[in-house]
Amino acid sequence: MNKRLPLLCLFLFPFLLFAQNKFSMADAILKGRTTLAPASLKQLQWIPGAAQFTHVVDGKMVRVNAPDLSVDTLDLLPGINEVLKTMDAQPLVGLPTLYWTDADNLWFQSENNLYTYSFGKGLKRVNSFSAGAENTDIHDKTFQVAYTKDNGLWISVAGKESGVAQSEEDGIVYGKSVHRDEFGINKGTFWSPAGRFLAFYRMDERMVTQYPIYVLDSMPAQARFIRYPYAGAKSHHVTVGVFDTQTSKTLYLQTGEPAEQYLTNVAWTPDDKYILIAVVNREQNHMWLKQFDAATGAFVKTLFEETSDKWVEPEHPAVFVPGSNTQFVWQSERDGFNHLYLCDLSGKAVLQLSKGAMPVTDFYGFSADGQNCFYQVADETGLNRFVFSTDLKTGVISRLTDEEGVHNGMINSSGDWALDVFSNTATPRFIYAIPVANPTDRRIVFGAKNPLDGYQIGLTRLLTLPSPGGATLNARMILPPNFDSKQKYPALVYVYNGPHVQMVTNSWLGGGELWMHHMAQEGYVIFALDGRGSANRGFRFESSIHRHLGDAETEDQLTGVSYLKAQTFIDPQRVGVYGWSYGGFMTTSLMTRPEAKGAFRCGVAGGPVIDWRMYEIMYTERYMDTPEENPEGYAKSSLYNYIDNLEGRLLMIHGTSDDVVLWQHSLRYIRECVSKGKQIDYFVYPEHLHNVRGKDRVHLFEKIERFFNENLRDVKAGRP
């Protein structure tokens, strides 16, 4: 330990366009995020209270001093395993994921046990919990654990397990994520800062429609049921409980009526006294940030409200300023772009911390003294990401990164150093150490070589096109290796174009994936476009789709197709389209809506939404209102209405256990195609959820590749 080593630093190799080797579709899928992805530093993190960070190399922790980049190596695993043997615990085969609590202490989880490691006191087991625990939530100071089993909620304190709440009957769920993971919700438990209290969701979904998922290996066939709230139908009811670990008593916050409201973005005040909840009405056009007394459950006051004639969508809880029990940062699109606001418990916005046509895309936190906050923004083009800071007292905004591309920041606890994980279309990955007081004095910590060196990789172009709606649209084109502008190539358009997603960025490969480059190796031009409705371009751009899903998106995608077909190297008769989920909805739209007639020879629609009346309440009603309120919008977007227009080859794919876009969508579509005498190709992935994962994903993309080869590549150029 403490042996000094040279700093690990691999420099960027030139990007070769005309190398000899290809990779297979299986390589693209299975290795695209591992050996064929740019290398990085594993377990990269700052040590709290220090200008030092660590990462793991070959099972050993490397500690780096940011000011001079000197390093030492901490070989922790042998000592950890020696103590584990004395505990009759299973030794670790590799270094686990370690988390620093301060400069001398770390903690980690191994199976269902939590351990602390101190450089002075060694290894100690501090908690354990049931092996069948799910949705574990670990308090990082007390190491208490909240978790669910079945639909009940439990906690473990120092190895002693206690039941918090148990489901009274089928349809009542404790401690799990609610509202279908919308509004930024991804869990159902919330520890108070000191760890005495646990806030948790209770969801009553007994009134929600049940939907069957078939279990194939049972004889006779069986079905398990999920509860799925369709647009316009009954929604589940949610309340928030507070469990006191000292008294083992539970109370519920007085969140009131109506029952069909959304309780989002739960946050504690630092003194454990109050809970803030962003309450959204079912119509999703009104948000109240409400304060509740954690000791009594009483409603205290509404801090402020936000309204919109389209939607409000809080996705980030209040984050309190260090050293203050009253001041917090709130994210809002109230001025048309997602920005940071310094607020207090009086309800007043003290200061707007970020400004302009550059939405905040990530909030990193504060310096320990509460003087500065740090965050990432998308620039006006939407293509680049930069790291900024703002002084909370003066409002002075500082920019920490300049080079065009995507910068992801990691700020140390004191706020005087930042790690910048950077890439752009020419740079696989660099990691810099940046002194916040002098950002131009950045130091190279790590550089990844080109992982595709030696492979045939075609040129990626980032393009801008005008939208019929007035905005500028970002697009990406991938050309085949050894591209010849005199040839005629088939083209494949990859589409999503739905909310919360951006496909084109100034990052490595332009945001594209390796399966696209494999298809380019096989002689395709690959094209993608972020039309109106997609993310990180401001509320006006993103809300263009309100009440009319598919209209603006189709218009923008056809703009891209027109540009594509106008290129002399594209065979306009051999253009196909592929998308999944919202992209499946768009693919089917582009194959059948009358305004898209003749645009595509063939298409692959995966997990497609066919009729928004069959999709979940929280997402659909935000963008479409209810079917009763917007019958014209629902009718126009229903793809059952356009089946008669289907002319090209359409392959539809669905997972039989899809609990996001129900299998019913595509099954009904097939039934209607049969009724209307329209031929359609169809394939299912038994027992797969919304996305086909694991080794079966190779099968999926090989099927997609074969379909396009048969319909685009292996046909005579110019064939009508």
Catalytic residues: 581, 658, 690
d(CA 610, CA 586): 9
b (16+ CB within 10 A) / e for 239-272? bbbbbebeeeebbebebeeeeebbbbbbbbbbeb
From the list 685, 648, 654, the residue with the least C-alpha distance to 667 is 654
d(CA 252, CA 197): 12
d(CA 713, CA 491): 9
d(CA 634, CA 588): 16
Contact 430, 447 (CB under 8 A): yes
**Number of CB atoms found within 10 A of residue 586's CB:** 31
The H or E element that residue 698 is part of is helix 696-708
Contact 382, 502 (CB under 8 A): yes
| The two three-digit tokens of residue 17, written as one number | 């366009």
d(CA 570, CA 490): 6
CA angle 564, 567, 572 (to 5 degrees): 65
Residue by residue, DSSP assigns 497-563 as --TT-----SSGGGG--HHHHHHHHTT-EEEEEE-TT-SSS-HHHHGGGTT-TTHHHHHHHHHHHHH
d(CA 486, CA 465): 23
Contact 222, 139 (CB under 8 A): no
Tell the residue number behind the tokens 């494949």, with chain if given: 492
Q: Are strands 427-435 and 406-411 parallel, antiparallel or unpaired?
A: unpaired
The CA-based diameter of the chain, rounded to the nearest angstrom, is 78
The H or E element that residue 675 is part of is helix 664-675
d(CA 235, CA 182): 13
Contact 512, 530 (CB under 8 A): no
The H or E element that residue 620 is part of is helix 617-624
| The two three-digit tokens of residue 330, written as one number | 């709130």
d(CA 319, CA 305): 18
From the list 562, 356, 401, the residue with the least C-alpha distance to 473 is 562
Burial class of residue 520 (count of CB atoms within 10 Å of its CB; 0-12, 13-18, 19+) = buried
Residue by residue, DSSP assigns 222-248 as EEEEEE--BTTS---EEEEEEEETTTT
d(CA 246, CA 196): 7
CA angle 212, 215, 219 (to 5 degrees): 120
CA angle 214, 219, 220 (to 5 degrees): 75
b (16+ CB within 10 A) / e for 611-621? bbbbbbbbbbb
Residue by residue, DSSP assigns 3-72 as EE-PPP--PPPP--SS-SB---HHHHHHHTTTTTSPP--EEEEEPTTSSEEEEEETTEEEEEETTT--EE
User: DSSP secondary-structure letter at 635?
Assistant: H
